[in-house]
Structure 1
Amino acid sequence: MPTRLNPYLSFDGNAREAMEFYQRLFGGNLVLSTFGEFGTEGDQADQVMHAMLETDSGFTLMGSDVPPGMEHAPGNAITVSLSGDDSDELRGYWNALSEGGIVSVPLERQMWGDEFGACADRFGTPWMVNISPPRG
């Protein structure tokens, strides 16, 4: 899988509705995971932990509902996401982006099996890096 650069949108409880709208608009394949699938109980269990829409046109759009304790600030709801399976390339990006910035989630293995980290670079741009295991 090549490394890709795509928007990651944050929603305040309506990520499923928004991502299904984008799927109707752009077409393609939508995959959704809920917080409940990873052990969260209660009101947030049915909310979207991660969604990815891949279209026939080559668009990739990702999004999620904000987790408890995180502020949803429309206008500040976009994070740039780098993802793929080229570990060396993505670690290089992570190291450069996080240097002099603020790391909110260290780059480390997560419950879904990938390595993931989140930071704001020294210019204040929010970034997420996700390294998937190589396929094949």
Structure 2
Amino acid sequence: MVTRLNPYLSFRDSAREAMEFYRSVLGGELEISTFRELGMPVGPGEEDLVMHSMLETPGGLVLMGADTPSSMEYSPGGSISVSLSGDDTAELTGYWEGLVEGATITAPFEVAPWGDLFGMLVDRFGVTWMVNGPAPE
């Protein structure tokens, strides 16, 4: 098996909604397992929260996520960004347009000083995304 580096996002109680949103933007197959399904003990009312989810797109993108039980410390956002980059401007523009729904744009999706098409946003779940691709000709 090839070694891969996959972003693994943490949420308090919105992992299912977030991962379904990312599937609507990125496409692909989404697998979701709850704490109940995997027999993991959590606090009352948390049994149906997401213990593990994995979104895998036909193009090979992999994004994982889970809810953080109330018994564990949770610090949203902060020190990590998910970056999408490539050569397909139309594909990257489509991702940007999907992610921008309910997001706070921190850098508009436009030609950056280094010549690429670039944008940055914090999505409605508190996750920072960067999208970078070739400038339109």
TM-score (norm 2): 0.53
CA RMSD of aligned residues (A): 2.3
- Could you tell me how far apart the structure 1 residues matched to 2:36 and 2:66 are? 13
- Could you tell me how far apart the structure 1 residues matched to 2:56 and 2:79 are? 20
What is the total number of aligned residue pairs between the two structures? Answer: 80
- Could you tell me how far apart the structure 1 residues matched to 2:48 and 2:33 are? 9
Report whether the alignment pairs 1:37 with 2:37. yes
Bigger proportion of residues as strand: 1
Identical-residue share of aligned pairs (%):
58
**Is contact 2:13-2:68 (8 Å) kept?**
yes
**Is contact 1:14-1:65 (8 Å) kept?**
yes
Q: Who is 2:54 aligned against?
A: 52
- Could you tell me how far apart the structure 2 residues matched to 1:69 and 1:22 are? 26
Report whether the alignment pairs 1:72 with 2:74. yes
Segments of structure 2 that go 5 or more residues without pairing to the other structure are 81-137
Give the number of the structure with larger relative contact order, counting CA–CA contacts within 8 Å between residues 6 or more apart: 1
TM-score (norm 1): 0.53
Residues 36, 77 of structure 1: alpha-carbon distance in 2 compared, 3 angstrom cutoff: farther
Decide which structure has the larger Cα Rg and report it.
2
**Is contact 1:11-1:77 (8 Å) kept?**
no
